[in-house]
């Protein structure tokens, strides 16, 4: 019995270097705290609140309407950038689309929203504008999406236009 266990274990251990020794070097995820942001983005990490998941946010305009929860149906206007100031998306690029969604549903016009939105939008009030700095794990993670490189930190300026 003991011999058969070794026979089964040995090939498994022998194959381990094939899985561990891949050609790509280890790339640690970028740290928001150590990232240089384009001055045009207005990111001041020391003035922002940080969540346990490392999402940074700052209310630029507090808003006076309904407080957004995961169940609130909202319409937002937003602009999104990479830390170097490269704009990669904006609600204005989607003219003609309804753009209303429930943060908790995770869908807006059929597009899966970012986990960073689930964490960063609730608590806003209608009429409010918030700056979000989203870590890769709450953004697109290790996926390259269009002009957004894998493991990118994302910066969003979001205004809640309406909500019920």
Q: Write down the pLDDT at residue 106.
A: 54
Domain region containing 56: 30-163
pLDDT, residue 25, reads 55
Please tell me the predicted confidence (pLDDT) of residue 11. 38
Q: How far apart are CA 97 and CA 90, in angstroms?
A: 12
The answer to whether position 8 is within a domain reads no
**Secondary structure tally for the chain: helices H, strands E:** 2, 9
> For residues 60 and 151, is the Cβ–Cβ distance under 8 A?
no
- Count of domains observed in the chain: 1
Whole-number percent of the chain with pLDDT over 90 = 57
Q: Determine contact, residues 44/58, Cβ cutoff 8 Å.
A: yes
pTM of the model: 0.79
Q: Which range (12-16, 61-65, 66-70) has the least confidence?
A: 12-16
CA distances from 65 to 23, 125, 141 (A): 53, 5, 33
Q: Contact at 8 Å (CB) between 68 and 121?
A: yes
Alpha-carbon separation of residue 77 from 18, 70, 80, 158 (angstroms): 48, 17, 10, 6
What is the CATH classification number for the domain harbouring 124?
3.10.50.40
Q: What is the pLDDT of residues 117-146, one digit of tens each?
A: 989 999 999 999 999 999 999 999 999 999
Segment 15-36 mean pLDDT: 64
Q: Residue 63 domain-assigned?
A: yes
Residue 7 lies in a domain: no
Evaluate whether residue 39 is within a structural domain. yes
Rounded Cα–Cα distance for residues 125 and 62 (Å): 7
Residue 49 within any structural domain of the chain: yes
What integer best gives the mean pLDDT of the chain?
81
With contact defined as beta carbons under 8 Å apart, do 45 and 33 qualify? yes
**pLDDT at residue number 68:** 92
For residue 2, tell me if it sits in a domain.
Answer: no
Asked if residue 121 belongs to a domain, the reply is yes
Domain assignment present for 97: yes
């Amino acid at each position: 019995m003991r011999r058969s266990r070794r026979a089964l274990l040995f090939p498994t251990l022998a194959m381990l270097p094939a899985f561990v020794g891949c050609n790509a070097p280890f790339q640690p995820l970028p740290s928001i705290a150590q990232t240089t942001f384009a001055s045009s983005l207005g990111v001041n990490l020391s003035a922002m609140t940080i969540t346990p998941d490392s999402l940074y946010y700052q209310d630029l305009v507090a808003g006076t309407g309904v407080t957004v929860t995961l169940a609130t149906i909202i319409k937002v206007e937003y602009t999104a950038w990479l830390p170097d100031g490269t704009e990669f998306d904006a609600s204005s690029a989607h003219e003609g689309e309804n753009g209303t969604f429930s943060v908790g549903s995770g869908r807006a016009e059929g597009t899966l929203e970012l986990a960073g939105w689930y964490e960063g939008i609730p608590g806003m009030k209608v009429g409010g504008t918030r700056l979000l700095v989203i870590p890769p794990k709450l953004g697109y993670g290790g996926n390259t999406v269009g002009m957004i490189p894998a493991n990118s930190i994302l910066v969003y300026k979001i205004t809640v236009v309406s909500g019920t």
